[in-house]
Chain A
Amino acid sequence: MVLDVNKRAYNHRPGACRQVEGIAHGSEDIALLEDEGIAFITSGIFYMSPRGKNVKGQIFLYDFNQEGTWKAEPLKINGKYDQENFHPHGLSHIVTSTGIVRLFVISHSKAFEHSVMVLDWNRKTRQLDLVKTIRDEKFIRPNDLAAVSEEAFILSNDGSAQMAVTNLLEILSLIPSGSVVYYDGKKSSWLIPRTTSPNGVILDRERKHLIVSHINDETLSVYKIGEKYRSLSRVIDVPLLTAADNFYVDKDGAIWTGAHPVLKEAFPHLGDCEDLSKYAPSQVLRIKFSKDFKSWEVTEPFVDDGRLISASSIAVPFKNQLLIGSVCRQLVHCDITAETI
Chain B
Amino acid sequence: MLRPPNSLSGMLHRLAVEGVLRFLVSGQCYGGNISSATCFRLMLDLNKRVYNHTPGPCRIVTGITDGAAGLELVREVGIVIISTGLANAYGNETVRGGLAMIQLEKEMAKHETKPVKIEGEKFDQNKFAPLGISSYYSKGRILVYVVNSHPERQCVEIFTYHKDKNVLFHRKSVCDARFTSIYDVVVVSADRFFISNLAYMSRGKLQTAELVMQSSFGALYFFDGRTVSLHESRLSTPSALAIDRKRKLIFVGSLLNENVRVYALEKDYSLTFRTQISLLSSPAGIHIEEENGDIWIALHPVLHQAYLVTLYPNDEKVRSSSQVLREDGVSWVITEPYANDGATISASNAVVYDKDHLLIGSMFGRLLHCDVLNPSIT
Listed stretches B10-18, B52-60, B311-319; interface member: B52-60
Residues of B within 8 A of A298 (CB): 51-52, 341
Chain B interface size, as a band, is 35 or more
A10 engages B30 (CB within 8 Å): no
Q: Which of B48, B51, B56 contacts A285 (CB 8 A)?
A: B51
Residue in A7, A15, A242, A285 with the greatest tally of chain B CB atoms within 10 Å: A7
Residues of B within 8 A of A285 (CB): 51
Q: Which residue of B lies closest to A285 (CB)?
A: B51
Residues of B within 8 A of A2 (CB): 34, 38, 42, 47
Residues of A within 8 A of B45 (CB): 6
Residues of A within 8 A of B335 (CB): 10-12
B191 at the interface (CB under 8 A from A): no
A276 at the interface (CB under 8 A from B): no
Q: Which of B29, B34, B53, B373 contacts A301 (CB 8 A)?
A: B53
B378 at the interface (CB under 8 A from A): yes
B49 at the interface (CB under 8 A from A): yes
B289 at the interface (CB under 8 A from A): no
Q: Which residue of B lies closest to A335 (CB)?
A: B374
Within 8 A of B (CB), among A1-60: 2, 4-8, 10-13, 15-17
A339 engages B334 (CB within 8 Å): no
B4 at the interface (CB under 8 A from A): no
A11 engages B31 (CB within 8 Å): no
Using A2-B34, A241-B48 as known contacts, say yes or no to A13 and B42 having CB atoms under 8 A apart.
Answer: no
Residues of B within 8 A of A7 (CB): 47-48, 280
A297 at the interface (CB under 8 A from B): yes
A303 at the interface (CB under 8 A from B): yes
Q: Which residue of A lies closest to B258 (CB)?
A: A6
Q: Which residue of A lies closest to B323 (CB)?
A: A10
Residues of B within 8 A of A339 (CB): 54, 56-57, 373
Using A12-B337, A12-B378 as known contacts, say yes or no to A6 and B51 having CB atoms under 8 A apart.
Answer: no
Residues of B within 8 A of A241 (CB): 47-49
Roughly how many angstroms separate A242 CA and B31 CA in the complex, as a whole number? 21
Roughly how many angstroms separate A300 CA and B52 CA in the complex, as a whole number? 6
A96 at the interface (CB under 8 A from B): no
A162 at the interface (CB under 8 A from B): no
B156 at the interface (CB under 8 A from A): no
A5 engages B51 (CB within 8 Å): no
A15 engages B53 (CB within 8 Å): no
Using A2-B34, A340-B373 as known contacts, say yes or no to A8 and B378 having CB atoms under 8 A apart.
Answer: no
A299 at the interface (CB under 8 A from B): yes
Would you give the shortest CB distance from A14 to chain B, in whole angstroms? Answer: 8
B47 engages A16 (CB within 8 Å): no
Would you give the shortest CB distance from B160 to chain A, in whole angstroms? Answer: 39
Roughly how many angstroms separate A5 CA and B46 CA in the complex, as a whole number? 12
Q: Mark A290-316, 1 if CB is under 8 A from B, else 0.
A: 000000011111010100000000000
Q: Which residue of A lies closest to B302 (CB)?
A: A241
Q: Which of A4, A8, A12, A337 contacts B47 (CB 8 A)?
A: A4
Residues of A within 8 A of B55 (CB): 12, 340
B2 at the interface (CB under 8 A from A): no
Residues of B within 8 A of A17 (CB): 377
Roughly how many angstroms separate A337 CA and B38 CA in the complex, as a whole number? 41
Residues of chain B whose beta carbon lies under 8 Å from any beta carbon of chain A: 29-32, 34, 38, 42-43, 45, 47-57, 278-280, 325, 333-337, 339, 341, 373-374, 377-378
8 contacts between A and B (CB under 8 A): A7-B47, A11-B335, A11-B336, A13-B377, A297-B52, A300-B50, A339-B54, A339-B57
Known: A5-B31, A241-B47, A340-B55. 11 other contacts (CB 8 A): A5-B29, A8-B280, A10-B325, A12-B53, A12-B335, A13-B377, A299-B52, A300-B51, A305-B334, A340-B53, A340-B373
- Pick the 9 closest A-B CB pairs, nearest first: A300-B51, A10-B336, A5-B30, A6-B42, A11-B335, A299-B52, A8-B280, A241-B49, A300-B53
